[in-house]
C-alpha cells in the first residue's frame, strides 16, 4: 500500500498529498492532484486507509458539463500528518 507503510508511517508522497489536501476544506480535484505527480494508486490508497474521501462531482467549466472526482482529507488524515 502506498500510503501507510508496514510500520504505520506515511510515505513521503502520501504525506505530501495529505498536506495539499489539508489546505482547502473543499478538497482538490483528482486531475489537479495528478498534475502534481500523484498516481491514482496513491490517491486510492489514501481513500482505502480512511485518510481521505473521494466524491464524484459535476462541474461546468466554460459551460461544458463534466464529472470530476474531488478528494478531501479526513480527520484521520489530519491526525496522521500532525503526529
Domain spans in the chain, listed from the N-terminal domain onward: 12-82
- Higher per-residue confidence, 31 vs 9: 31
CATH of 12-82, one of 1.10.3720.10, 3.40.50.1000, 1.10.10.10, 1.10.357.10: 1.10.10.10
Mapped onto helix, strand or coil, the DSSP state of residue 7 is: coil
pLDDT, residue 2, reads 42
Q: What is the pTM of this model?
A: 0.83
Q: Are 23 and 65 in contact (CB under 8 A)?
A: no
Residues 78, 23: contact at Cβ < 8 Å? no
Between the CA of residue 34 and those of 6, 24, 37, 79, what are the distances in Å?
A: 25, 17, 5, 24
Model confidence band, residue 1 (pLDDT cutoffs 50, 70, 90): very low
Strands across the sheet containing 52-59 = 28-29, 66-73, 52-59
Amino acid at each position: 500500500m502506498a500510503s501507510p507503510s508496514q510500520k504505520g508511517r506515511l510515505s513521503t508522497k502520501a504525506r505530501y498529498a495529505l498536506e495539499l489536501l489539508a489546505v482547502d476544506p473543499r478538497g482538490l480535484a483528482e486531475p489537479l492532484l495528478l498534475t502534481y505527480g500523484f498516481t491514482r494508486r496513491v490517491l486510492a490508497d489514501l481513500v482505502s486507509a480512511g485518510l481521505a474521501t473521494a466524491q464524484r462531482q459535476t462541474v461546468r467549466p466554460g459551460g461544458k458539463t463534466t464529472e470530476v472526482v474531488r478528494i478531501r482529507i479526513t480527520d484521520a488524515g489530519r491526525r496522521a500528518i500532525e503526529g
